[in-house]
Amino acid sequence: MTGANGAGRYAPSPSGDLHVGNLRTALLAWCFARASGRRFLMRVEDLDRARDAGAAARQLDDLSRIGLDWDGEAVLQSELGRGHDAAIDRLAEAGLVYECTCTRADILAAPSAPHAPPGAYPGTCRDRSEAERARERQRIAPRRPALRLRVPTGMAAPEFDDRIRGRVVGEIDDFVLRRGDGTVAYNLAVVVDDAAMGIDQVVRGDDLVTSTPRHIVLQRLLGLPSPPDVEFAHVPLVLGSLGARLAKRDGAVTLADLRSAGASAEKVLAVLAQSLDLAAPGERVHPQLLVERFDPGALPRSAWVWPGLENAATS
């Protein structure tokens, strides 16, 4: 699939500086878009103020340092609230939204349906009467109910073809659209924002692959583009030396850390390219060269273990 009129994107949350795993995913999203003739857009997902560390400017600077560019100005998700509200209103008018007062502990303690995935919402609040909902609102005050999507009865869980993982069969439940604190949930915001920005190629970490069926359900219920008109690629994560998802506890993993230790942005780019089989060990590369070499079918399918500072620093 090519996308001369479409776009790919990278959408970081400004919860801290990007580490090499984030930079690797951004590089892949950029290569996917540029190699397919798409525009590449940037969106700062700053809705969750509790997690916002004000790192957006540093994140964008780091992406530029390793040679990535994007079309137009970076979009702030916090400025797109009207679209989120309109989508929830539209779903509510169709009878597809209901209040939920369950906590995470309530959900984990409730009996689940046979074969339901761990943590799936058991439907506790789905069929309550308005009187019951009023009593629940009073019970939890001043906390407010969350809003959940009422997935239509009988709606099949979506299947889709992923550019990295192949055929993916998903599972869905009644997921949250807006949290009790008023923050729009990621699953709703990302779908609405991607459609508004003309995104038809979504490249992100494979820790989000289980969310994609939810996104496809929302796309279909809201009449927005969905597969095969939107393609997904969930890329393997970067792991630390102990095999867990890369984090700051793994040492020097941000571009600033590496720069302080003597590793230039160009060196970091070369290490990332090597991890993707796009460069030979020690080869100096630039982003456009990686686009010329880029072949999604030849990308590694397994997680990459960060080799450590000694292999990323300049000699």
- The reported pLDDT for the residue numbered 314 is 44
Least confident stretch, 111-120, 211-220, 292-301:
111-120
Please give the domain boundaries of the chain with CATH numbers for all domains. Answer: 7-78+236-312 (3.40.50.620), 81-187 (3.90.800.10)
Alpha carbons within 13 A on the beta-carbon side of 17: 13
Asked whether residue 110 carries a pLDDT value surpassing 80, the answer given is yes
Q: Indicate the pLDDT class of residue 315, thresholds 50, 70 and 90.
A: very low
Asked whether residue 116 carries a pLDDT value surpassing 70, the answer given is no
Q: Is 248 annotated as a binding residue?
A: yes
Q: Is 179 annotated as a binding residue?
A: no
- The percent of residues in the chain predicted with pLDDT above 70, rounded, is 94
Asked whether residue 3 carries a pLDDT value surpassing 60, the answer given is no
Q: What is the mean pLDDT of residues 263-289?
A: 94
Q: What is the helix (H) or strand (E) element at residue 159, kind and residue range?
A: strand 159-162
Asked whether residue 112 carries a pLDDT value surpassing 70, the answer given is no
Taking residue 288's Cβ as centre, other Cβ atoms within 10 Å add up to 10
Q: Is 132 annotated as a binding residue?
A: no
d(CA 309, CA 241): 11
pLDDT tens digits, residue range 125-175? 999 999 999 999 999 999 999 999 999 998 988 999 999 999 999 889 999
Q: What is the mean pLDDT of residues 97-124?
A: 84
Q: Is 11 annotated as a binding residue?
A: yes
pLDDT tens digits, residue range 177-186? 999 999 999 9
Q: Is 121 annotated as a binding residue?
A: yes
Using the structure block, give the residue that is written with the tokens 């103020």. 49
Using the structure block, give the residue that is written with the tokens 């679209």. 83
Q: Is 98 annotated as a binding residue?
A: no
- The reported pLDDT for the residue numbered 52 is 73
Cα-to-chain-centroid distance, residue 198: 16
Which residue type is seen at 302? S
Cα-to-chain-centroid distance, residue 61: 20
pTM greater than the 0.75 cutoff: yes
Q: Is 204 annotated as a binding residue?
A: yes
* Contacting residues for 3 by C-beta, under 8 A, at least 6 apart: 33, 36, 37, 38, 200, 201
Alpha carbons within 13 A on the beta-carbon side of 170: 20
Q: Is 227 annotated as a binding residue?
A: no
- The reported pLDDT for the residue numbered 50 is 66
Q: What is the mean pLDDT of residues 285-313?
A: 88
Asked whether residue 113 carries a pLDDT value surpassing 70, the answer given is no
Q: Is 31 annotated as a binding residue?
A: no
How does the average pLDDT of the chain come out, rounded? 92
